[in-house]
Amino acid sequence: MNIGLDVGSTTAKIVHVEEREVIFSKVVPSHHWTELIDDGQDDRCIVSTGYFRKKVPHCAAITEITAASLGARYHNPETQVIIDIGGQDTKVIDLRSNTFVINDKCSAGTGAFLELAAHYFDIPVGSLGRLHSLATKGAQLNNTCGVFAISEMISQLVSGYSMEEVIYGLHQAFALKISQMVPSADTVMLIGGTVRNTGIIDAINNVLDSKIEVPGAPQLVNALGAALYRERLDDGR
Amino acid sequence: MNDTIGITALVPPELMYACGKRPLDVNNVVPVSSSSPSNKLCAWTAIWRDMILNGGLDIDSLVVVAGGDCHNALVDGQKAELSGMPTHYFFYPFDGDTDYLRSQLEKLVRFLGGIQDERMFSLISDLKAKGRALDELRVNDRARGSDVFSALISFSDLAGNPDIFGKTLDSVPRTDIRYSSRVALIGVPPIYPDFHETAEGFGLHVVYDELPYEFLRLGGSSLDSLASSYRDYSFAGPLKNRVRLIQDELLRRRVDGVIHYTQYACHHTLEDEIFRQHLDYPILTVQGDLPRPSTEQLKLRLEAFAEMLGVMS
Ligand code: SF4
């Protein structure tokens, strides 16, 4: 059995893979990561990834870039580009050229931006997608800085836009910000916990010309990739 | 003692020594600085500017390389001049015009007080040959990229003393090295003092440093030969020439990937797109701002790039 453990900034995930099939997975808040491996079996080889990859038990630690590449290819070997929207950063990986870019300077294209907006509206971040779907148009957000975007959203509410329209516009601005990092491609796969927000998928679909794919459990792709990396270790690669 | 002349970018060091002056590349003090300058765009120019204004750099006058290179330096150099520092402005021709460059070199010689010791030309030419041999050693895996870079980056001013610098070159450790991938470092030099060591920690052997190689590649023993060599200074000329030069070096040095270092608020950042279009290699672009030890963000990128080159290819 191959085990991948992804301990990121917000959540920790584990995936068990046997004969290239996922047989178990679990997600907990990051600081509870020990719960994922406290089943008394200390002699296993775990491949770790994520921010805390070197802080957790592992026989190999790989970056999220490599983990995402392996995990995305498992779902679709033809995928050309991956967009991994994390809590603190967003990574775009071009599998055709083995290149990647990471945005970790500006919060506007990361999960933290959506958290900030949800916090302002005092709603769970998980409800942003549903509210987005209730709007037929959006308020246009001009500010690409996460903090200033919030003050712009407040002005939009004052000028009469509904909360749903402001959220729609927020997702659109988020997608535009990310699209600046994305090369032109036929197929783009979205991964990371943030893409469980269907508003983000809709907005990215509107902004990019590519065919957008979202795997069944987008937040588990990196843990899955880490588990699959184990096969390469066994190959001696 | 000879006058010390600050230089803000490449000014033919053989000519400065021949004029009896000692060049000091003001950039060399930046990576080890811990200051956070106010009113800054690029930290390189802001830090040397502040050091000059505060009397923290022991120089008698300043040569600002402006034309064809850096406009931030042009402005910050003028601030130094307005504070009372004798300052000369040196312009490279964008179109490689030899006559223009020769006239610039003549003006520079006048500013420096005339040529006094022509032997310096051959002495420095020999040192550059030594530098190129050292560069070849790392291409042939016989020296660490970090050690070679530290030596080559000082070719802009020969560390203030060509004789001692020659001995420093001899003392660079010769050692067989192991690595997972060969990479080139293009763009302005990283402001992180431990960049090469950090890359080596992830198995990346830096076999080409673009700017220091310019210091070695160009030279001459008279105003005419200096003009016809330095007119090709790639950072000051058309990008297509620079791309061609880089392409040749990438091939010759058998690199697996390219790291493009960019500096916050530097116009060279805009070149990234062109390199990505014209260099057929995996490219990692990184950006630095203030001089600090390698950040975690930089380490993640280098580690991931090393994995990409090793595991994914
Ligand atoms: S990094 Fe760019 S802006 Fe800064 S000194 Fe060099 S050329 Fe000028």
Sequence-ordered strand ranges (E) for chain A: 2-7, 11-18, 21-29, 46-49, 60-61, 81-85, 90-94, 99-103, 187-191, 211-213
How many percent of chain B have pLDDT more than 90?
A: 94
Residue B123 lies in a domain: no
pLDDT digits (tens, 9 = 90+) for A47-83: 999 999 999 999 999 999 999 999 999 999 999 999 9
* Structure confidence at residue B1 (pLDDT): 47
How far apart, in whole angstroms, are the C-alpha atoms of residue A146 and residue A62? 30
CATH code: domain of residue B85: 3.40.50.11890
Residue B121 lies in a domain: no
B161 and B74 in a single domain? The answer is no
* pLDDT (mean) for B225-238: 96
Contact B157, B212 (CB under 8 A): no
**Is A99–B303 a contact, with Cβ atoms under 8 angstroms apart?**
no
Closest residue of chain A to B307, computed from CA coordinates: A66
B99 and B222 in a single domain? The answer is no
Residue B126 lies in a domain: no
Contact B45, B70 (CB under 8 A): yes
Residue B222 lies in a domain: yes
State in Å, rounded, how far the first CA of chain B is from the last one.
Answer: 56
**Which residue segments constitute the domains of chain A, with CATH numbers given?**
2-75+220-235 (3.30.420.40), 81-213 (3.30.420.40)
Contact B77, B87 (CB under 8 A): yes
Confidence class for position A87, pLDDT limits 50, 70, 90: confident
CA distance B305 to chain A (A): 8
* Structure confidence at residue B301 (pLDDT): 96
B98 and B177 in a single domain? The answer is no
B144 and B47 in a single domain? The answer is no
B147 and B296 in a single domain? The answer is yes
Residue B132 lies in a domain: no
pTM: 0.92
CATH code: domain of residue B225: 3.40.50.11900
Residue B89 has pLDDT above 80, yes or no: yes
Q: Sign of the C-alpha dihedral, residues A189, A220, A87, A114?
A: positive
Mean pLDDT of chain B: 95
pLDDT digits (tens, 9 = 90+) for B127-167: 999 999 999 999 999 999 999 999 999 999 999 999 999 99
B150 and B249 in a single domain? The answer is yes
B211 and B266 in a single domain? The answer is yes
Residue B125 lies in a domain: no
Instruction: Give ipTM to 2 decimals.
Output: 0.88
State in Å, rounded, how far the first CA of chain A is from the last one.
Answer: 18
Residue B120 lies in a domain: no
How many percent of chain A have pLDDT more than 90?
A: 69
Q: How far lies B76's CA from each of A124, B60, B93, B262, in Å? A: 50, 17, 21, 20
B90 and B228 in a single domain? The answer is no
CA proximity to A25, closest of A235, A236, A216:
A216
B188 and B247 in a single domain? The answer is yes
B232 and B292 in a single domain? The answer is yes
Cβ atoms < 10 Å from Cβ of B189:
23
Residue B61 has pLDDT above 90, yes or no: yes
Residue A237 has pLDDT above 60, yes or no: no
* Structure confidence at residue B312 (pLDDT): 61
Residue B124 lies in a domain: no
* Structure confidence at residue A136 (pLDDT): 86
Q: Domain of B45?
A: 4-112
| Number of domains making up chain B | 2
Give the atom of ligand 1 at the shortest distance from the alpha carbon of B265.
3
* pLDDT (mean) for A5-32: 94
B199 and B294 in a single domain? The answer is yes
**Is B311–A99 a contact, with Cβ atoms under 8 angstroms apart?**
no
Domain boundary residue among B43, B78, B112?
A: B112
Of A64, A66, A104, the CB nearest to B312: A66
Contact B304, A101 (CB under 8 A): no
A232 vs B74, higher pLDDT: B74
Is B116 an 8 Å CB contact of chain A?
Answer: no
pLDDT digits (tens, 9 = 90+) for B232-277: 999 999 999 999 999 999 999 999 999 999 999 999 999 999 999 9
- Hey, whose CA ends up nearest to atom 7 of ligand 1? B70
B29 and B103 in a single domain? The answer is yes
